[in-house]
Amino acid sequence: MKNIVLTGFMGTGKSSVGRRLARELHLKFIDTDGLIEKEAGINTNGIFEKFGEAYFREMESKVINEISTRRDMVIATGGGAIVNQQNLEALKRNGIVICLTASIDAILSRVGSGDERPLLSRGDKKEAISNLLKQREPFYKKADFIIDTTTKTVGEVVEEIKEKLLAMGDRQ
């Protein structure tokens, strides 16, 4: 079976949906941010603070190149992963890319008010989300399909993904 790749902005449900989808389809779940943190020995915030975003993106590309050659996985990527065309191409070569979206207010509610999200840790979070979404939207549109999670439960999103995969007939 091809990989099922979940991408999209932070707070859209990639990890929650990915874990449940993998469990229901009896596939392995991989979170690229988790692999990066494991390799670096520190969390994403620490990587951004200590080494910067460029270093994080370099590690992200390395991880994506490694895992995209495998099969039978549900992969949750970081929100900016497919801004890099090479990452998108690697993920699409052996996977179906699904972009999860949500309204700005839903994202803001889901990510909370803490500083755990390095790209939202300075200034007005709602404005930062809006600006990042505008920058990333053209890349998110390159996904095989898009699902808005704003008003849906994790279970509803998982069922919608399974229906779309079945309709595609691309579950080899």
Structure-token pair, residue 7: 């991408």
Report d(CA 119, CA 45) in Å as an integer: 9
* Range of the structural domain that residue 44 is part of: 3-168
Kindly report the CATH number assigned to the domain that includes residue 126. 3.40.50.300
Domain count, the chain: 1
Strand, helix or coil for residue 171: coil
Report d(CA 80, CA 70) in Å as an integer: 21
Each residue's pLDDT tens digit, 112-157: 755 555 555 566 788 888 999 999 999 999 999 999 999 999 999 9
Q: pTM for the full model?
A: 0.90
Each residue's pLDDT tens digit, 2-57: 999 999 999 999 999 999 999 999 999 999 999 999 999 999 888 988 998 899 99
DSSP classification of residue 61 = H
Burial class (CB in 10 A: 0-12, 13-18, 19+), 160: middle
